[in-house]
Structure 1
């Protein structure tokens, strides 16, 4: 199944256009679809958007980045509690690390 057909808001975002993720980055589209509705979605998106120094990646074209950001926004709207869990988890980990340093 395609992202456009499985995520209602994404279909509305794309309108008549086809998803570049669906057509040119099928493996990534499948991973997004698999993680949709789970807190791990945010980790996946972070991995897609951040290029670390030791990685030899070119990055995505602007239109693909726009699709990824649109999906991230749709996910936050559809599953707001998951984003709060992620944010709270990283905040508590930071507190725990800082208390170890004292």
Structure 2
């Protein structure tokens, strides 16, 4: 496995959103950031990111802090703009 590039360096729009600051998502939830990077640019991104954004009351997880949810939402928005052809047709 290669060296992981931080999302803020991989996605210039995300870095601009962060205003060159550290990503809380990458700092505190590296495993989630790794999966976002893995799915970035592929149709599989949408089901994965939607599971992160939707609060499923049947699950026994704590959820993310608000600043992490905002970063995840922003990544979703950026992905939609960059890869509109990858979004599933409803």
Q: TM-score, normalised by structure 2?
A: 0.89
- Gaps of at least 5 residues in structure 1 are 92-102
Contact 1:45 1:68 in 2 (8 A): yes
Match of 1:24 among 28, 37, 48: 28
Which stretches of structure 1, 4 residues or more, deviate above 4 A after TM superposition?
A: none
Which one has a bigger Cα radius of gyration?
Answer: 1
Q: Which has the higher contact order (CA 8 A, sep 6+)?
A: 2
Distance 1:54 1:8 in 2: 36
How far apart are 1:47 and its partner, in Å?
Answer: 1.3
Larger helix share, 1 or 2: 1
RMSD: 1.1
Distance 1:16 1:75 in 2: 19
Structure 2 equivalent of residue 33 of structure 1: 37
- Gaps of at least 5 residues in structure 2 are none
Distance 1:26 1:6 in 2: 15
Structure 1 equivalent of residue 48 of structure 2: 44
Count of aligned residue pairs for this structure pair: 86
